[in-house]
Structure 1
Amino acid sequence: MAAEAIDRAMGALIGGALGDALGMPTQLLSPTRIAELYGHVEDFVAPSADHPVSKGLPAGAITDDTEQALLLGRILVSSGDRFDHARWVNALLDWERDVKARGSYDLLGPSTKRAIDAINDGVPPEQAGSSGDTNGAAMRIAPVGIMMPPEPLDALVAKAAEACRATHNTSIAIASAAAVAAAVSSGVAGSDWRVASDRAVAAARRGATLGHWVTGGDIAARIAWAQKLVRGKAEKEAIRLIVDLIGTGVASQESVPAAFAVLEVAQGDAWRAAVISANLGGDTDTIGAIAAGMAGACSGLSCLPQGRIARLKGIDLAEVRALAADLVAARNAKAGSGKEAAA
């Protein structure tokens, strides 16, 4: 059971990396521009020389989506039961300094940057994230889903909210992150993508009651609507519906439902989810990371394309495996303590 859980945990993390890397050269571009440059993206490609964010990166390179997810995973393991907000904020700052030194243009997102600036000015973490409603929390939340069992759902949602607090302490961002975490957690527990999607909607409903309320479409309702919208549609038509009706921007209420719609169109296939996401335009790397990460959790690393994994750039598979094992060990400890309490 531990081996299968680690395989699915790896599926979540590496699936997310595949979606991130495939969407790296197409992020911020329109579907028309993507078609002009690449036709239909089906494999890793290098970004254009004038790309505003990805220029200079090689084909198959991961970006902030994967790097911050792995960073959050390490903070979760080192924090134990109580999430260390100070360590998390400092880790994000160190990460940004490192990527700047590497010459990257893919830095902290708007909500995270605004919150960290506030914390550095003395604002408490729970207040600093009070306006963070973009998708930065959802894009990196997969390790919470790996570490937390799917039941009790309230505990999983609470841990997702805790990880959001310093940067994305809003009802919309927490609902979005809780949905993704619940889908990943269900996958690691052995569920298929359909069951995981149902659990995500339930988690989003609970997450929406936490944090600072901000205006915007209900995440649980939008996830369910987005999946129904594309169900049974041909891929080309589904892409049009996602772009035109759901939206692919950094707003949580666009990109997170879009990722669940992609999961539906791909029928739980992680690589297919990555390919669909890369051709959407907009926040392609984040939508791809979320969708393919959820799909990977529901299928496991062994079902992912091994040749393409070998071509990923900027990721150490041995380190990811060690992190996955640590997160699964923490998950098993939580599940064990829950059984003892129930007895």
Structure 2
Amino acid sequence: MIAKIFYKQELHTNKDRGNSKFLITDKLKNKYTGCMLGAAIGDALGKQNEGVRREEILKMGYIKDHGRAPKGSPGEKLRAGQYTDDTEQMLVLAQSLIACNGFDAADFASRIAKWGEEVRNDPARSPFIGPSSSYAIEKLNSGISWKESGSDIPSCGSAMRVAPIGLFYDRLENVESNAVLSSIPTHKSKGAIAGAVAVAVAVRSAIEGDDRSEIIRKTCERASNHDIGLAAKIGLAYESRNELPDIVFARLGTSYYVYDTVPCAFYCFFRYFEEPEMAIIEAVNAGGDADSIGCITGALCGAFHGIECFSKKWINSLENKDLVENIAISLFKIFSRFR
């Protein structure tokens, strides 16, 4: 009789363990899809305010849903729900990681050069390619090595696309080293490299479910290995999280330089840590490089909270949502296989 009771209890315990493992796996997969879709959503929303001054945004009213960018702006020819080069480059990086089973700089450089040539010949998409990326793509396509092709302009081009590095690798030393390598083909300044490291490390930390203080500690520690100034400014963004957006955006700046864009995204993420949709709304209405600020903020929010934190309306009206989600799931499957 005792043996029978023990056997029933063991079956029940094993069943609970199986359910627990399933729930943990499902939650992690949702974080992967949330990170990638969050980045694309923030990008697609933010393109409507790309290059618009904060003062003008406040007069017109906050962007809260997908729509067309106004005439005269870089994204005027893009459709509602269509994302920009931020997400496109992120997908190129993710596809390279999947194809090579890890980061391969030569493969990624080849892919980004091919992608860049295609986009530069597309009138609707070409206005979004920043000066750093454009410079590097031209050099890569002329046969210059990826080790020498990167621009010294400290822009945010490598930070906005780097989230897949944080999804693919779990050890922070690997996240950091591969984030560095992923930046070099197009962005080799110390600021751009530090920005890529900061975002990739924060994505990994958010995936692991670290709290705010731990995310900022890991992020600043790793970023400071490459640019102490940027790490300090990200720390300032964290310290400013209880201050009003107008004050903080004016303090941090919202230009395409990595010293502005990345700290602004971290500010939005930390200020609305438990309100991810509000974090994205604030980010895409910051003005300046609003699509990149939104893209990075969306990646961080999705990595921490998972796909459920975003409205179905945002997800369903996002162009190529199935492609983005499928690539995220592929990254998750590879990660799970080797964990």
TM bucket normalised to smaller: 0.7 to 0.9
Tell me if 1:232 matches 2:242: yes
Query: In the TM superposition, what is the alpha-carbon distance from 1:156 to its structure 2 partner?
Result: 1.1
Please name the residue that 1:177 is paired with. 196
Tell me if 1:156 matches 2:156: no
Query: In the TM superposition, what is the alpha-carbon distance from 1:187 to its structure 2 partner?
Result: 1.8
Task: Tell whether the 8 Å contact from 2:255 to 2:288 is kept in structure 1 after alignment.
Answer: yes
Task: Tell whether the 8 Å contact from 2:47 to 2:83 is kept in structure 1 after alignment.
Answer: yes
**What are the Cα deviations for residues 33-55 of structure 1, in whole angstroms up to 9, with x where unaligned?**
2234x32223333222x233111
Query: In the TM superposition, what is the alpha-carbon distance from 1:80 to its structure 2 partner?
Result: 2.3
Please name the residue that 2:229 is paired with. 218
What is the identity percentage for the equivalent residue pairs of Structure 1 and Structure 2? 27
Aligned residues between the structures: 316
Match of 1:321 among 312, 318, 325: 325
Task: Tell whether the 8 Å contact from 1:25 to 1:47 is kept in structure 2 after alignment.
Answer: yes
Query: In the TM superposition, what is the alpha-carbon distance from 1:105 to its structure 2 partner?
Result: 4.0
Please name the residue that 1:13 is paired with. 36
Query: In the TM superposition, what is the alpha-carbon distance from 1:61 to its structure 2 partner?
Result: 2.3
Please name the residue that 1:74 is paired with. 95
CA distance in 1, matches of 2:153, 2:56: 30
Cα pair distance change 1:92/1:191, threshold 3 Å: farther
Tell me if 1:202 matches 2:213: no
Tell me if 1:28 matches 2:51: yes
Higher Rg of the two aligned structures: 2
One-letter amino acid matched to 1:114: Y
Please name the residue that 2:62 is paired with. 40
Query: In the TM superposition, what is the alpha-carbon distance from 1:83 to its structure 2 partner?
Result: 0.8
Please name the residue that 2:187 is paired with. 168
Map 1:60-99 onto structure 2 (within 5 A): 60-98=81-119
Query: In the TM superposition, what is the alpha-carbon distance from 1:226 to its structure 2 partner?
Result: 1.7
**What are the Cα deviations for residues 48-70 of structure 1, in whole angstroms up to 9, with x where unaligned?**
2x233111333332111112111
CA distance in 1, matches of 2:119, 2:146: 23
Give the structure-1-normalised TM-score: 0.85
One-letter amino acid matched to 1:187: A
Query: In the TM superposition, what is the alpha-carbon distance from 1:95 to its structure 2 partner?
Result: 4.8
* 2:224 match: secondary structure: helix
Cα pair distance change 1:126/1:88, threshold 3 Å: closer
Match of 1:125 among 146, 170, 194: 146
Tell me if 1:189 matches 2:208: yes
Cα pair distance change 1:89/1:241, threshold 3 Å: farther
Match of 1:258 among 258, 264, 277: 264
**What are the Cα deviations for residues 81-119 of structure 1, in whole angstroms up to 9, with x where unaligned?**
451424533444335514743633434221111122223
Cα pair distance change 1:106/1:92, threshold 3 Å: farther
Q: 95-104 or 69-78, which moves further after superposition?
A: 95-104
CA distance in 1, matches of 2:154, 2:298: 22
Please name the residue that 2:273 is paired with. 267
* 1:131 match: secondary structure: coil
**What are the Cα deviations for residues 222-259 of structure 1, in whole angstroms up to 9, with x where unaligned?**
10012212x322xxxx2212331100001111110111
Please name the residue that 1:330 is paired with. 334
Tell me if 1:291 matches 2:297: yes
One-letter amino acid matched to 1:316: K
Q: 113-122 or 272-281, which moves further after superposition?
A: 113-122
Q: CA-atom RMSD, angstroms? A: 2.1
One-letter amino acid matched to 2:210: S
Cα pair distance change 1:87/1:289, threshold 3 Å: closer
CA distance in 2, matches of 1:59, 1:321: 19
Cα pair distance change 1:279/1:81, threshold 3 Å: closer
Please name the residue that 1:134 is paired with. 155
Task: Tell whether the 8 Å contact from 2:43 to 2:294 is kept in structure 1 after alignment.
Answer: yes
Task: Tell whether the 8 Å contact from 1:161 to 1:207 is kept in structure 2 after alignment.
Answer: no
Show structure 2 runs of 5+ residues with no match.
1-23
**What are the Cα deviations for residues 201-234 of structure 1, in whole angstroms up to 9, with x where unaligned?**
12212344xxxxxxxx7111110012212x322x
Please name the residue that 2:21 is paired with. none
Cα pair distance change 1:82/1:24, threshold 3 Å: closer
Query: In the TM superposition, what is the alpha-carbon distance from 1:2 to its structure 2 partner?
Result: 2.9
Q: 185-194 or 3-12, which moves further after superposition?
A: 185-194
One-letter amino acid matched to 1:225: L
Task: Tell whether the 8 Å contact from 1:47 to 1:54 is kept in structure 2 after alignment.
Answer: yes
Q: 252-261 or 104-113, which moves further after superposition?
A: 104-113
CA distance in 1, matches of 2:293, 2:86: 10
* 1:261 match: secondary structure: helix
